[in-house]
Structure 1
Amino acid sequence: MKRRDFLAGLGGLSTLALTGQTVQAQEAWPSKNISMVVPFPAGGQADIAARPVATYMQKVLGKAVIIDNRSGAGGSLGNSTVARAAPDGHTLLMTLSSLAVLPESDRIYGRPVAYEVDQLQPIARVLADPTLFAVPASAPWKTIQEFVADAKARPGAISYGSSGPFGTLHVSMEMFALSAGLKMLHVPYRGAAPAVSDLIGGQIQALASAPGTLKQHVDAGTLRVLANFGAERLAAFPDLPTFKELGYSDVEFYIWAGLFAPKGMPAPVVTKLRDTVRDAMKDPEVTKVFEAAGNMPAYQDSEDFAKFVAKDSERLVATAKKIGKV
């Protein structure tokens, strides 16, 4: 064999070896523990969505799936952390519908944009619950009509909590306030859980949050819910009217939770991750956790989820622009 042909053969073998190594590396995912970033404190909607899915993934994949509650800036800190992470499938994000609103809020305030939505790849939607309007059980209001009448009589006197400016809880409450012509005092928190705690304690007077963060407190008699931001009544709260039923036709808000990854992951990793989450959402142990918390599973695979995010985000960004600087 001529030297030239021999060297060419070696080159071909090297290429095959490198290709084989790449395929093997991709097929080996996960090769280390997985971090699932939740951009809010423990106990909120994103955290409720993340934990049973992470438990299932850990069992199936054979690597630890560690929940990283990285709260701050209404969720922007955790979202941007994952947007900048290596696209190797070892850093994931379980986030909420504020995902698209937060970059818009940076633009509204003239700040550097922390991340863009297109830096993240939708993997699957897990939950899609409407927010519920809650007040302390000791509050004088038994209906939305009573609340609106009092808020109009005392502009700026009634305070409400949120997970931060332009987060899910803030946008939903401002959507209602704009529709009803109310002026309330906004008190931002680092997430839903501390806001719920202060609502129970009476430090704030109202809150819009997910059923899963409110149901145990409603059942315990410490909170009262007055309205549902969804288009239809919920099975877990069958007697709770929707805002649309109450005459607020433009008030509709869903606090969905979904799994994302940094854009640019290898196709085999994406496929395995999608398959794993799909199977997790079929697992009775996972769905039982959600249903016990008052959250009905609302699974969508990546393609349908991407379309859903685009449509929902368009509506929420328009609301954010109406809110303006706060």
Structure 2
Amino acid sequence: MQRRQWWATLALTAIATVTTAAYASTAQGNYPSAPITMIVPFAAGSGTDAVARAVGQKLGERLQQPVIVDNRAGANAQIAAGLVAKAKPDGYTLFMTTNTSHSANPWLVKSLKYDPIKDFTPIARVGELPFALAVHPSVPADSVQALIDYAKANPGKLSYATPNSTSLVASETLRFLSKTDIVGVPYKSSPQALTDLMGNQVQMYVVDLGSGWSMLKTDRVRTLAVTAAKGSKILPNVPPIGKTLPGFDITSWNGIFAPAGTPPEVVNKINTALQAVLADEAVQKQLEQIGFEVWPTKTPQEFAQYVSEQLAYWGRLVKQADIPAQ
């Protein structure tokens, strides 16, 4: 027992020594001098996870230190956000997250345990994971307008899956703007929601291309539209919902943050490395294959402004659709 305690103490001491040394090195301008952890708020295999691993590998090569992806899924990104908010602001803990934690949760969660603005240092927007409106082939609709007409003729008959905040807000916004009676069904994961769409347990699903890309190219579901008003480079022939419902514009953005108080020189160094990674055509093509569109901000200040604007915009969406906080 004493030997085990001795080894445990030795291990903790070693970790503390490495962390302290890394922090001291950062303060001296030698960042990075140790591996970097990139926390992802969703499970392995999710769209954000795939982006984090692709970008993290290339970022590590640029910074000459490995970037280790750490999946901390749960509570709709709240667990991961809380961990990053409390982490040491030394540049060795990064947060690759989405609008879920920084745009939607503040309006959908009653007692949020982190502040999306005060607790984080924005580094760069990476891009966006487009969402598409898909229906089961049994639904007699080949356009958004046809879907609306069918829903109005059959109130309460259609149900839609909501495994994440983007699906929820997009579906509820569609319901509100179209004045239709469709029923939301909550899900814990995107893969299960997609499985049930294909099985006709639900008839409609606003799905992210990261998890649904392969199925959207088959006849097992019918893709009607994309959620972003500007359309999608990946689905150029699929119209935006906004063409039928003016004002509809929802984008699932993806970006990288550090804890609040991270030194500006560290933030700028990471940002510079990220710009080079995201400008690489090979990286862009790799991300496009998983349904992700690279769309970076140039400076941390530009990203901070974007995050602030998106927070306000999602607040208007949630209030407009009268979605209650849980």
TM-score range, shorter chain: 0.7 to 0.9
Aligned-residue CA RMSD (Å): 2.3
**Displacement, 1:22?**
4.6
Kindly indicate whether the alpha-carbon contact (under 8 Å) linking 2:47 and 2:290 is maintained by their aligned counterparts in 1. Answer: no
Corresponding residue of 1:117: 116
Relative to 1, partners in 2 of residues 1:265 and 1:140: Cα closer, same or farther, differing over 3 Å?
Answer: same
Corresponding residue of 1:8: none
Equivalent residue runs for 1:42-191 within 5 Å: 42-98=44-100, 99-107=102-110, 112-118=111-117, 119-137=119-137, 139-164=139-164, 167-191=165-189
Greater C-alpha Rg? 1
Relative to 1, partners in 2 of residues 1:123 and 1:251: Cα closer, same or farther, differing over 3 Å?
Answer: same
- The question of 1:294 aligning with 2:291 is answered yes
**Displacement, 1:91?**
1.6
> Structure 1: which 4+ aligned runs deviate by more than 6 Å?
none
Alignment partner of 1:50: what SS? helix
Corresponding residue of 1:261: 258
Task: Tell me, in whole angstroms, the C-alpha distance in 2 between the residues paired with 1:127 and 1:76.
Answer: 21
Number of aligned positions between the proteins? 299
Task: Tell me, in whole angstroms, the C-alpha distance in 2 between the residues paired with 1:224 and 1:51.
Answer: 30
Corresponding residue of 1:5: none
Task: Tell me, in whole angstroms, the C-alpha distance in 2 between the residues paired with 1:68 and 1:300.
Answer: 24
**Displacement, 1:34?**
2.2
Q: 2:217 aligns with which of 199, 205, 219?
A: 219
> Residue 267 of structure 1 aligns to which amino acid in structure 2?
P
Corresponding residue of 2:12: none
**Displacement, 1:31?**
3.6
Relative to 1, partners in 2 of residues 1:34 and 1:155: Cα closer, same or farther, differing over 3 Å?
Answer: farther
Task: Tell me, in whole angstroms, the C-alpha distance in 2 between the residues paired with 1:287 and 1:198.
Answer: 31
Q: Can you list the C-alpha shifts for 1:12-67, whole angstroms capped at 9, x where unaligned?
A: xxxxxxxxx95664533334332212212234332233121111122233433222
Relative to 1, partners in 2 of residues 1:24 and 1:104: Cα closer, same or farther, differing over 3 Å?
Answer: closer
After superposing the two structures, state which structure 1 stretch, 62-71 or 178-187, moved more.
62-71
Alignment partner of 2:109: what SS? helix
Relative to 1, partners in 2 of residues 1:161 and 1:78: Cα closer, same or farther, differing over 3 Å?
Answer: farther
Relative to 1, partners in 2 of residues 1:196 and 1:318: Cα closer, same or farther, differing over 3 Å?
Answer: same
**Displacement, 1:299?**
0.9
Kindly indicate whether the alpha-carbon contact (under 8 Å) linking 2:25 and 2:33 is maintained by their aligned counterparts in 1. Answer: no
Kindly indicate whether the alpha-carbon contact (under 8 Å) linking 1:41 and 1:193 is maintained by their aligned counterparts in 2. Answer: no
> Residue 160 of structure 2 aligns to which amino acid in structure 1?
Y
Relative to 1, partners in 2 of residues 1:195 and 1:291: Cα closer, same or farther, differing over 3 Å?
Answer: same
Task: Tell me, in whole angstroms, the C-alpha distance in 2 between the residues paired with 1:24 and 1:121.
Answer: 16
Relative to 1, partners in 2 of residues 1:37 and 1:194: Cα closer, same or farther, differing over 3 Å?
Answer: farther
Q: Can you list the C-alpha shifts for 1:113-168, whole angstroms capped at 9, x where unaligned?
A: 2211121111111113542111234544322223223322343332222234xx12
Kindly indicate whether the alpha-carbon contact (under 8 Å) linking 1:129 and 1:255 is maintained by their aligned counterparts in 2. Answer: yes
Relative to 1, partners in 2 of residues 1:176 and 1:252: Cα closer, same or farther, differing over 3 Å?
Answer: same
Task: Tell me, in whole angstroms, the C-alpha distance in 2 between the residues paired with 1:33 and 1:204.
Answer: 44
Equivalent residue runs for 1:12-31 within 5 Å: 22=24, 25-31=27-33
In structure 2, stretches of 5+ residues that fail to align are 1-22
- The question of 1:313 aligning with 2:311 is answered yes
Kindly indicate whether the alpha-carbon contact (under 8 Å) linking 2:190 and 2:207 is maintained by their aligned counterparts in 1. Answer: yes
Alignment partner of 1:93: what SS? strand
In structure 1, stretches of 5+ residues that fail to align are 1-20
**Displacement, 1:273?**
1.1
> Residue 253 of structure 1 aligns to which amino acid in structure 2?
I
Alignment partner of 1:35: what SS? strand
Q: Can you list the C-alpha shifts for 1:86-133, whole angstroms capped at 9, x where unaligned?
A: 2121221111112222122223xxxx3221112111111111354211
> Residue 281 of structure 1 aligns to which amino acid in structure 2?
L
Q: Can you list the C-alpha shifts for 1:208-255, whole angstroms capped at 9, x where unaligned?
A: 133343332122333321112222333332321222222x11211011
> Residue 82 of structure 1 aligns to which amino acid in structure 2?
V
